[in-house]
Structure 1
Amino acid sequence: MQTLAIGSLTLEPQIAAHADEMFVVLSDPAIYEYENEPPQSAAGLRERFAELESRRSPNGSEQWLNWVIRLPNNKLIGYVQATVYPIGRAAIAYELNSAYWGRGLARQAVQVMLGELIARYGVKQFSAVLKQQNQRSFKLLQRLGFALATPAEHLRAEVERDEFLMLRQVEASERGAP
């Protein structure tokens, strides 16, 4: 993994040393309006981040790529992540502290991650799962070229009834093909 930059943002490979600052970022209750819950402690988050530093699933079949998002003032504001499967697919996720919503920062961060996954990891298809009520994420993913999966794809992916599966195929021009 390498550090990525876009506009005023820097995406750094996530490591255990980011846990204390990210605990504050991820303790924002607004992030969890639709699902999940904040980390229980900085120590627990540090342990989780340390596990993720291997960048691989326990069986080695998946790559787990996690970046923290840093502003020019050195402040962390969230993360982007991808699980890369060996067949050219990746599932993505992201979270930003709500103080930074609506500024285009999530779009920039996810966009640079997608580019990295295409160029460096050979990803040809992306997926994201979100709660149907989460219109903010739905619109962000649409702006990034994702579309709703078909009902059959939802069923195959075992997506919950209150969730959307969104997919994005990588165009040949994005892969550098003629």
Structure 2
Amino acid sequence: MDAEPMRTARLTLEPLAVRHAAEMAEVLGNPALHIFTGGSPDTPERLRDRYARLVAGPPAGHAESWLNWVIRLDGPDRLVGYVQATVTGDRASVAWVVGTAWQGRGIAGEAAVALVHRLRERGVTVVVAAVHPDHAASAAVARRAGLAPTTGRVDGEVVWSSDRDEAAGPEHGPI
């Protein structure tokens, strides 16, 4: 499975490229963005190195696909965040990040809905995301993308899933 361009009403999701690193370093540069995700902003050089690894994909012999897109907002024609999916068979783990200057505009939700739709078109049946329990905005994005909270936890984050059986029962652990 490959990351191919996607369009929504006001966004273009472009496959991640190393050339995006400098602009994305600005987008992701606010330390407040890392309150729920941890870490600190990457320099353009560190982001370039990270993007080179992501674009190269997983090591040979791994059965997963790494799909990464930057989010380009129409109008100002600038990058504002990213979405990503790690796909293994018919399951995908997804994530989204929108720079603090563009939060609260529904951009993450719009991009996440497009991502989940594309994954479903490609045969993915279960989509999961890990959301910090105190991150109400990210929980709203997960809900908009068709996910529901489960009893599962990964590194203290709530596992959200598109699998209604998984979301409903306490007998299901982390994904």
- State the match for 1:60 in structure 2: 62
Aligned length, in residue pairs: 161
- State the match for 1:131 in structure 2: 132
**Structure 1 unpaired stretches of 5+:** 171-178
Render the CA deviation track for 1:116-174: whole Å, top value 9, x for unaligned.
Answer: 11112x11001111211111111221222211113xxx2xxx623x321110139xxxx
User: What percentage of aligned pairs have identical amino acids?
Assistant: 35
- State the match for 1:44 in structure 2: 46
- State the match for 1:107 in structure 2: 109
SS of equivalent residue, structure 1 residue 21: helix
Taking a change above 3 Å as real, the CA distance of residues 145 and 126 of structure 1, as seen in their structure-2 partners, is same
Contact 1:129/1:159 (8 A) holds in 2: yes
Residues 20-35 of structure 1 mapped to structure 2, 5 A cutoff:
20-35=22-37
Q: TM-score w.r.t. structure 2 length?
A: 0.85
Q: CA deviation at 1:89?
A: 0.4
Tell me how large the CA RMSD over aligned residues is: 1.6
- State the match for 1:175 in structure 2: none
SS of equivalent residue, structure 1 residue 65: strand
State the distance in 2 between where 1:48 and 1:109 align: 22
Match of 1:163 among 136, 157, 164: 157
Q: CA deviation at 1:53?
A: 1.0
Give the aligned residue type for 2:30.
Answer: D
SS of equivalent residue, structure 2 residue 162: strand
**Structure 2 unpaired stretches of 5+:** 165-175
Q: TM-score w.r.t. structure 1 length?
A: 0.84
Deviant stretches of 4+, over 4 Å? none
Render the CA deviation track for 1:80-106: whole Å, top value 9, x for unaligned.
Answer: 0000012x0000001001111111111
Give the aligned residue type for 1:33.
Answer: I
